[in-house]
Amino acid sequence: MTVKLYDENAYLKEFTATVVSCEKCGEGFAVELDRTAFFPEAGGQSSDRGFLGNACVTDVQIQNEKIIHFTDTPLQTGSTVSGALDFDRRFDFMQQHSAEHIVSGIAHRLYGCENVGFHLSEDIVTLDFDKELTREQISKVEQLANSAVFANKAIHTYYPDSQALKALSYRSKKEIEGSIRIVEIEDTDTCACCAPHVKSTGEVGLIKLLGAEKLRGGVRLQLKAGMRALDDYNSKYENTLKISNALCVKQEETAEAVNRLCEKVSELKASLGEMKRKSILSKAQSYTPDREITAEFEPDLEMKELQLYSDALFKKAGGIRAVFSGCNREFLFAICGDAKALDSFFTHFKEQFTVKGGGRNGMVQGTVFAEKNDIIEAFERD
């Protein structure tokens, strides 16, 4: 069985090992070593990456109780190889995972939450609790988690013997067979875990809880710690700065300024809508068609405005009155007419073009995919 060097020293960046086997696997190779510092994908955490000699390690998995390193080039069986981790990635993962333990331990102590899911990759960290939490409760967990970080509490990892384990109260996401590795954060959390962790909470740097969504009777939280939290702050700072400059307000006043702007936009939309409504009705009053079936094309009308216009044209002149708005072979439409005549006309219309939509009681609406001239010709034929 491969010796897990990452269990002994999570900060080990380089090591040497003997190649036990190397087999072709897809476009790459599957390599087993007698010992490794590469942490395999496990416990919701993605694997380490790095190099074995000149071979790039793209993934590490546990298969049939063996730790398998997937490389882009082969290694000679029986040879000694030097391994080098992408330690920036490793340390980032250690920060995120230790932060998750801090948050989960506090949520467990305060609200009886059990961690029932965890995912850690380069892009995202999520943790799932079996109980719903309010925004205020989440904020309290975050505050206490960062207090634990600032206190720089020690983090210990160890394998207790069977007697010590029986006397130990610890969290675990699932039943574990064999030796159980404990990660203990001083006065904060005790949890079974196989992953590398930082030595003390101060190395986590900062913990920020972001999005929260309901999930199967509980809650899923997004978490960022360390440099990820700083990068997130910087990104949001730059966005807030752009908004404050655009609205000529202080950064701490941007939310209120955006609300005022949204209210103003809503007022303008309502005013514009009323103006368009009056213009449509006025235009319909002067409508004098020379045919029973007509198609009008108007720019920039929404569906409710198309419905208003076609209804007004029908009430003014009878017949079948269609109004279209759009471009590039895609037009919204509303058509009004006597229900029986309209049903017959619309059936024929759908036979000629690709149409999505329908209706009843003398009005149909939807989208037609066709050239404008083809639509006009179809109406002139009818």
Q: Same domain for 223 and 105?
A: yes
Q: Are residues 373 and 315 in the same domain?
A: yes
Task: State the pairing for strand pair 330-337/14-25.
Answer: unpaired
Q: How many structural domains is the chain composed of? A: 3
Tokens standing for 134?
A: 């309010």
Q: Are residues 189 and 102 in the same domain?
A: yes
Q: Is there a domain that residue 53 lies in?
A: yes
Verify that 196 and 306 share a domain, yes or no.
Answer: no
Amino acid letter, residue 138: I
Q: Are both 64 and 128 inside the same structural domain?
A: no
Same domain, yes or no, for 196 and 288?
no
Residue 77 inside a domain? The answer is yes
Closest CA to 7 of 36, 31, 32: 36
- pLDDT, residue 75, reads 96
49/207 Cα distance (integer angstroms):
24
Domain for residue 350, yes or no? Answer: yes
Cα Rg, the chain, nearest whole Å: 33
Task: State what percent of residues in the chain have pLDDT above 70.
Answer: 98
pLDDT in tens, 79-109: 999 999 999 999 999 999 999 999 999 999 9
Q: Is pLDDT of 195 > 90?
A: yes
The answer on pLDDT for 176 being more than 80 is no
Quote the domain boundaries for residue 62. Answer: 3-85
Q: What's the predicted TM-score (pTM) here?
A: 0.77
pLDDT tens profile 353-371: 999 999 988 999 999 999 9
Average pLDDT, the chain: 94
Amino acid at 108: H
Shared domain for 190 and 309, answered yes or no, is: no
Q: Are residues 115 and 39 in the same domain?
A: no
Among 120, 319, 83, which Cα is nearest to 224's?
A: 120
- To the nearest 10 degrees (0 to 180), the angle between helices 87-111 and 227-247 is 80
The sign of the torsion formed by the CA atoms of 91, 86, 237, 125 equals: negative
Which of 139, 87, 76 lies closest to 110, judged by CA? 139
Domain of 212: which CATH number?
3.30.980.10
How far is Cα 230 from Cα 225, in angstroms, rounded to an integer? Answer: 8
- The model's confidence at residue 1, banded by pLDDT at 50, 70 and 90, is confident
